Chains A and B, each alone.
Chain A
């Protein structure tokens, strides 16, 4: 389970702030890395989650769960890095992979709260609908459409969209090949 704290000096390296998430309209997560202050034999993900003030209820739950999924992904990878220069590159997820997982968390939260939300643009069908009554396979398809549409800006320039074939950079782009 992801714990959140108000300072990155906390033991798990996670900070949660309510404030302007900048270009991210609901929330953003910044991922960095440091030597674990509590155990210099390990590395620790340094995660700063910023959530827009004013969200409440299911909207807040969904955003917190979504960003929490990104935090967990970064922590899972950081835990594989060792002092010999090794790490599990398969856990250094691409933008597509971490967004897909985060939206599956969003889907799960909305379903459990018996509500539905629309996200971004899924083309002629309008916003991408997730939540109650959406079957897992359908949710996966919707999430893929959401992430692939350049208008929704899940990737970086010049393509903006991310897909399994064009997954975008890894969470830690420098760490793709173990030393």
Chain B
């Protein structure tokens, strides 16, 4: 399978000063711990195939370089109908949320940091479906502004066509 990885790594390896928690009203540290290792996140394949996109906020606590706690703080889901006729309600979005939140949590748990004291911050995972349809699965574009923002952008999948190009109508045979 041909693969093309468009991976944009914006690893902010030096500790980054953040606005104070009071200014932003969020759980943000005075500085982010320095990331040393992380697995590349991908677009969950079922979510991509079923046109599910959205944003997941994960609250992460790091101590001595390891993630000691991570939990989902919020999930904002968008579910598209291929024909743009069905509008999905809050119940459907809540049910589908784990399709994006579980992989986000799993990815954040692969992060390793330079050992230091205990720090808590929010990591945001943004899953987008954009661009021209593709009939062959491609690797997503992954943008990492770590450890605060992960953006995974995948192209929409073209519906599979059976019998395109073939003649299935046939002709009567008399003998």
List A residues at the B interface (Cβ < 8 Å).
Answer: 7-9, 21-35, 37, 40-41, 43, 46, 48, 52, 55, 58-59, 62-63, 66-67, 70, 81, 83-85, 87, 95, 98-99, 102, 106, 115-120, 127, 129-131, 152-154, 160, 169, 171-175, 177, 179
B44:A27 contact, CB within 8 angstroms: no
Q: Which one of B46, B162, B167 has the highest number of Cβ atoms from chain A below 10 Å of its Cβ?
A: B162
List B residues at the A interface (Cβ < 8 Å).
Answer: 44-46, 48-52, 79-83, 85-86, 88, 91-92, 95-96, 98-99, 102-103, 135-137, 157, 159-173
Q: State how many angstroms separate the Cβ of A103 from the closest Cβ of chain B.
A: 8
B159:A31 contact, CB within 8 angstroms: yes
Q: Which one of B91, B102, B165 has the highest number of Cβ atoms from chain A below 10 Å of its Cβ?
A: B165
A118:B162 contact, CB within 8 angstroms: no
Q: State how many angstroms separate the Cβ of A21 from the closest Cβ of chain B.
A: 8
Enumerate 24 A-B pairs (CB-CB under 8 Å) in ascending A order.
A24-B163, A24-B166, A25-B166, A29-B162, A30-B160, A30-B161, A32-B159, A33-B51, A34-B80, A37-B88, A40-B88, A40-B92, A58-B172, A62-B168, A70-B163, A83-B96, A84-B98, A85-B99, A116-B173, A118-B171, A153-B166, A154-B163, A173-B157, A179-B45
